[in-house]
């Protein structure tokens, strides 16, 4: 068997390609965002990249027959922080453009062996689970068996980034028993996934597989190790700006800051500004920080609450600033020679929408490559039955005073 091949739809900056690495050959990549298209070409060249809307793509534009088609389709309508329109929304509905393309390839006997759909974990609960069920029905109708995993990038990089991965295999192929299990194995099945899977019915439920994916080695990556002293795209705040951030903290978060200062160690905290409802029922913006050496989930820069800050504590010194673009790239597992957009917001948009490359690498090494290598055509007989591994069925002045206390220790 030669090098397996893949298509990368909704390719963004090619972070799936970064994760798959030299084990795979790209035949075709597609995105319709001009900024992401530039980043893809900057990093991977343009020979196999097509710029355009997936709804307009035709099977004749897709070369060859790939082993894998990867689709990280838009999440805006499925995200818990999104607009709630679900799979039929204008953005997340791009999935149906992908479905139609695979259907067309199938009609030409060129359907990929494997499909991977990647999205936010909110896809499991969107529209009370109906959107997830629709995804599963679509895969079944395309002629695939499938299963899903919930994977947090924090197993590989110091970023909390839980995502849903649906892996589908053409149903005319069979694989070795060891690639499926009788029950979900931790840490790859969240409670939301178990609930969503339990609601599937009939032939769709019968097409489900619990993929066997080993747990990763414990990561020793730390947020503090990724921090730049002199980033090119952001500046350290003034003492007054840092004090204002601290003033936005609740007492619980100020205590975290005091404890970090009292430790005497060099530590970094990841901070987001969020709108909360106070005891008086009014909305107030709060700064919430974590000092567990893991960042919050990177987001696209749609507003003030989506921007991630860091606070660097060194003894009595407390400094703050926005997370830099290069730091965000490192949190996605990208090497420092990965070419980022020059403008800060464009880099944040690219990375906030992207894939954590080490997660893709783990999936590839322990599942996708093994599925490709083990897949063999099913030879139908009247009595043959193959094992599937299927599971049985505050007040501003007081805030400011307390913040000054936290900064002074």
282-292 pLDDT, tens per residue?
Answer: 888 999 999 99
Residue range 137-146, pLDDT digits in tens = 999 999 999 9
Closest listed residue to residue 106, CA positions, set 119, 115, 116, 118: 115
Mean pLDDT of 164-192: 90
Mean pLDDT of 246-261: 96
Mean pLDDT of 324-338: 98
10 Å CB burial of residue 222 (0-12, 13-18, 19+) is middle
Give the list of residues 6+ apart from residue 152 with CB closer than 8 angstroms, or none: 160, 161, 162, 163, 187
What distance in Å separates the CA atoms of residue 265 and residue 208, rounded to the nearest whole number?
A: 49
Q: Say if residues 34 and 343 touch (Cβ distance below 8 Å).
A: no
The owner of tokens 């499938």 is 146
Q: Which domains does the chain have, with CATH numbers?
A: 5-219+353-377 (3.40.50.150), 223-350+396-408 (no CATH)
Mean pLDDT of 354-368: 97
Mean pLDDT of 297-322: 87
Mean pLDDT of 354-363: 97
Closest listed residue to residue 276, CA positions, set 252, 300, 310: 252
- Helix-strand-coil split of the chain, %, nearest 5: 40, 20, 40
Residue 72's pLDDT is 93
Residue 406's pLDDT is 52
Residue 89's pLDDT is 59
* pLDDT of 22 above 60: yes
Residue 383's pLDDT is 36
* pTM for this model (two decimals): 0.89
Confidence of residue 408 (pLDDT cuts 50, 70, 90): low
% of the chain residues with pLDDT over 70: 86
Radius of gyration of the chain (CA): 23
What distance in Å separates the CA atoms of residue 147 and residue 169, rounded to the nearest whole number?
A: 9
What's the start-to-end Cα distance of the chain, in Å? 63
Least confident of 166-170, 207-211, 238-242, 299-303: 299-303
What residue spans of 156-296 are helical by DSSP H?
191-198, 202-206, 239-247, 251-262
Residue range 102-111, pLDDT digits in tens = 999 999 999 9
Tell me which H or E stretch contains 321. strand 317-322
């Amino acid at each position: 068997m030669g090098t397996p091949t893949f298509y990368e739809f909704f390719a963004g900056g090619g972070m799936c390609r970064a994760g798959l690495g030299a084990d795979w050959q790209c035949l075709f990549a597609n995105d319709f965002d001009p900024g992401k298209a530039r980043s893809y070409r900057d990093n991977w060249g343009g020979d196999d990249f097509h710029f355009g809307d997936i709804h307009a793509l035709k099977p004749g534009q897709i070369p060859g027959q790939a082993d894998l088609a990867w689709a990280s389709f838009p999440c805006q309508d499925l995200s818990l922080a999104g607009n709630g329109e679900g799979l039929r929304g204008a953005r997340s509905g791009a999935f149906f453009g992908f479905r139609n393309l695979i259907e067309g390839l199938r009609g030409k006997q060129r359907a990929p062996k494997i499909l991977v759909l990647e999205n936010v974990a909110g896809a499991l609960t969107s529209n009370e689970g109906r959107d997830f069920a629709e995804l599963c029905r679509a895969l079944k109708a395309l002629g695939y068996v499938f299963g899903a995993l919930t994977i947090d990038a924090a197993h590989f990089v110091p970023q909390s980034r839980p995502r849903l991965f649906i892996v589908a295999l053409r149903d005319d192929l069979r694989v070795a028993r060891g690639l499926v299990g009788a029950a979900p194995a931790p840490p790859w099945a969240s409670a939301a996934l178990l609930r969503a899977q339990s609601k599937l019915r009939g032939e769709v439920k019968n097409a489900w597989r619990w993929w066997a994916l080993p747990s990763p080695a414990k990561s020793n990556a730390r947020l503090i190790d990724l921090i730049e002293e002199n980033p090119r795209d952001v500046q350290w705040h003034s003492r007054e700006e840092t004090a204002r951030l601290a003033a936005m903290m609740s007492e619980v978060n100020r205590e975290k800051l005091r404890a970090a200062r009292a430790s005497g160690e060099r530590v970094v905290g990841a901070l987001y500004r969020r709108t909360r409802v106070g005891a008086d029922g009014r909305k107030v913006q709060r700064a919430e920080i974590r000092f567990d050496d893991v960042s919050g989930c990177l987001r696209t820069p749609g507003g003030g609450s989506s921007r991630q800050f860091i606070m660097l504590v060194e003894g009595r010194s407390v400094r703050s600033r926005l997370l830099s673009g290069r730091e965000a790239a490192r949190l996605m597992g990208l090497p420092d020679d990965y070419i980022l957009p020059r403008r800060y917001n464009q880099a944040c948009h690219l990375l906030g929408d992207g894939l954590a490359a080490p997660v893709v690498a783990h999936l590839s090494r322990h599942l996708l490559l093994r599925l490709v290598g083990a897949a063999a055509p099913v030879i139908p007989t009247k009595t043959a039955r193959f094992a599937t591994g299927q599971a049985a069925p505050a007040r501003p002045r007081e805030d400011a005073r307390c913040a000054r206390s936290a900064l002074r220790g």
